[in-house]
């Protein structure tokens, strides 16, 4: 199974992010947008994992979650990897709660290191909105991100991250389909 670990976003946050996607869709046809129902904050991508390893993964995540507090998260601005002039991924960043989320991701990576099948990347706390397939108009893209960032800053996009979710991702010709295998609550007080 193709597995990743993430924090789900509340519906009200997904609604605002979907509006951002809709605005950007007006200008850019060469972007594969993340399904609004699947918007999330990835903590770790494990890749292909054998079914018999899932219970061990759940146990290790529970051990981490038992020691972690809920995290108050606020979203910041739009951005792009590797940069806005040559975007491959369009994302929304995390303002407050970033250090706490990064610490949880680091602990998960440490305890699941031997189970991981994907190549290691530095953790970047963000929510992917879309992946760029083709890109032409750099000035218009930079202008639209700037304009949308002003609108985004006016919104109070806060939520409490209180669960870690293990997702199964099935690739289809219409895009990935995510299935939550297990929700694990952050327990520390």
Active-site residue (options: 40, 78, 152, 161):
40
Residues 6+ apart with CB under 8 A from 165: 5, 6, 7, 8, 40, 180, 182, 183, 184
Q: What is the CA radius of gyration of the chain?
A: 17
SS3 content of the chain, % helix, strand, coil (to 5): 35, 35, 30
Would you call 40 a catalytic residue per the annotation? yes
Say if CB 184 and CB 61 are below 8 A apart.
yes
Q: How far are the Cα atoms of 17, 107, 189 from residue 60, in angstroms, in the given order?
A: 31, 10, 19
Would you call 86 a catalytic residue per the annotation? no
Active-site residue (options: 126, 152, 159, 165):
126
Catalogue the active-site residues.
40, 126
């Amino acid at each position: 199974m193709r597995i990743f670990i993430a924090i789900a976003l509340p519906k009200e946050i997904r609604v605002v992010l979907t509006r951002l996607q809709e605005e950007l869709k007006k200008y850019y046809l060469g972007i594969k947008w993340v399904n609004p129902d699947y918007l999330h904050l990835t903590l770790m991508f494990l890749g292909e994992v054998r079914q018999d390893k899932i219970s061990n993964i759940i146990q290790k995540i529970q051990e981490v979650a038992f020691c972690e507090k809920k995290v108050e998260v606020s979203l910041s601005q739009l951005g792009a990897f590797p940069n806005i002039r040559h975007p491959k991924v369009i994302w929304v960043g995390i303002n407050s709660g970033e250090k706490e989320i990064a610490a949880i991701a680091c602990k998960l990576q440490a305890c699941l290191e031997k189970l991981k099948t994907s190549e290691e990347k530095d953790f970047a706390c963000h929510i992917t909105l879309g992946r760029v397939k083709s890109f032409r108009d750099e000035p218009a893209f930079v202008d639209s991100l700037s304009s949308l960032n002003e609108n985004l800053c006016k919104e109070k996009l806060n939520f409490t991250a209180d669960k870690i979710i293990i997702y199964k991702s099935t690739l289809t010709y219409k895009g990935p389909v995510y299935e939550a295998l297990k929700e694990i609550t952050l327990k520390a007080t």
